[in-house]
Amino acid sequence: MKRAILLSCIAGAVLYSHILAAAPRTVAVVNFTNHTGGKGLQYLSNSLPESLSASLAQAKGIQVAERGQIAAIISEIALSQTGLFDEQMVTGAGTLVKADVLILGSYSGNPENIILTVKAVEVATGRVLDGRVVQAPLAELFDVASQAVLSMAAVISGENLGILNVSTTPDGADVYVDGMLAGKSPLVDYKLAVGTHRLKAVKRGFMDADTKLSIEKDARESWTPVLGESRVRNRSEIGLGVSYLRPTYKELDPAPMFTFFLGHTYSKINISGEFAYAVINHNQDIDTPFGMISQERWYRYMGLSVHAAVLPFETSGYVTPYAGVFAGYSSLMDFRTNKSESNNDEKLASQNLWHLGAKLGMTVAPFAKVALFLEGRFYYYPAKVTREVFESQGILGGLKSHETEYSFNHFTIGGGVKYFFQ
């Protein structure tokens, strides 16, 4: 008999706790405090809480106390005048209005820029359950504040919550959740309603980072963005590159091209100067009465060019794409092997050419001091190159030559390393 009574008591206690857990929490929104907002904004002290009460009435798991019924009590405890929300005052006010949670707030500023602070305080403990800081012009304030308190509703009700942790590199960034300031990084164990949320990290001197993150019930999610220094938009660079040069003229062999450059990035535009060097073989096979003779020939290519590139997208911490154009001056010297010369190198001709081009590439790890880059280019030469071609005159004759013209256009693809400095 005693055992049955004991089991009944336990079952009753469990059932009662479930009923209490399932019961909606009563929330009362008291008048907000006007801190240096001026007399012209005094009406917000009452109108904002009225608007937020209507918004909270739409949330699940929350029962909103009618403000008309608590107006006298609010006036009596003078919450709206003092703005001092200590634990004893909150507990007393909550008991008087029979609320589980009080929504307290204060604001300051001017109609062009109002800063509103909203807190949800648990009456039984005086503990701040959640808070938001909203900054908006008067025309947008009611909508933004409504979004803020609705995002707090899940925390107040205790239903369908997940945990968010935000750690930025570097620390100390302002973290915004759905457009509202949630705090500074590292943000630890921040409670959020289940669903998809927009996150943004902002720090002075660094570039913003943003993302969308899905929060599941009772799950922990982390966001660890790397904030690129804003100097990535205003810094100098020096670098070396090597690329594979592929001529469009079939008589020229592919060759490596080496480059040295110095540049500076202004906002989204990069301006640089570059020196390029390559040795391009164009050996000639000559058919003679005594058989085929291979004549070793090569071009010594040197070029100076000015480049302008645009960074069309917001820089990420991993890859920065860019596209650009360039123009410059090239020197093309034609050599062949001649054993009668002291160094076996005989210079046959030299030409100076103007070139234009376009490039497409990306920088890898753009926020590091030393970064890699990958790049493809096309070089266009308005003028044609004159090439001296040799041919045999038979058994009794030597070699005679004639000139041909061809386009020296070519493609390059390659990469290199660059160092950034202020």
Task: Write down all domains in the chain, each with its CATH number in brackets.
Answer: 25-158 (3.40.50.10070), 160-227 (2.60.40.10), 231-421 (2.40.160.20)
Q: Cβ of 4: how many Cβ atoms within 10 Å?
A: 8
Dihedral angle at the C-alpha atoms of 356, 265, 171, 134, nearest 10 degrees?
-100
What is the model's pLDDT at position 89?
59
What is the model's pLDDT at position 262?
97
What string of pLDDT tens digits covers the 422 residues of the chain?
545 554 444 444 444 444 444 568 888 888 888 887 677 888 898 899 989 888 888 877 788 887 766 665 555 554 444 444 455 556 556 566 678 888 888 898 888 889 898 888 888 887 888 888 888 888 888 988 887 887 788 778 876 788 899 998 888 888 888 777 777 888 888 888 888 888 999 888 777 888 999 988 888 999 998 776 665 667 899 999 999 999 999 999 999 999 999 999 987 899 999 999 999 999 987 776 666 777 889 999 999 999 999 987 655 668 889 999 999 999 999 998 877 666 678 888 999 999 999 999 999 988 788 999 999 999 999 999 999 887 766 666 667 778 899 999 999 999 999 999 87
Taking each helix axis as running N to C, give the angle between helix 44-56 and helix 67-77, from 0 to 180 degrees, rounded to the nearest 10: 140
pLDDT digits (tens, 9 = 90+) for 98-136: 788 888 888 988 888 898 988 888 888 878 888 888 888
Q: How far apart are CA 62 and CA 67, in angstroms?
A: 15
Instruction: Write out the E strands in 167-268.
Output: 174-177, 180-184, 187-193, 195-202, 209-215, 220-223, 234-247, 255-266
Q: Cβ of 352: how many Cβ atoms within 10 Å?
A: 10
**SS3 category, 311:** coil
Helix then strand then coil, in percent of the chain rounded to 5, is: 20, 55, 25
Q: How far apart are CA 90 and CA 33, in angstroms?
A: 15
The closest of 309, 317, 315 to 375, measured between CA atoms, is 309
What is the model's pLDDT at position 293?
75
What is the model's pLDDT at position 393?
67
pLDDT digits (tens, 9 = 90+) for 257-303: 999 999 999 878 999 999 999 999 999 877 766 667 778 899 999 99
Q: Which pTM value belongs to this model?
A: 0.53
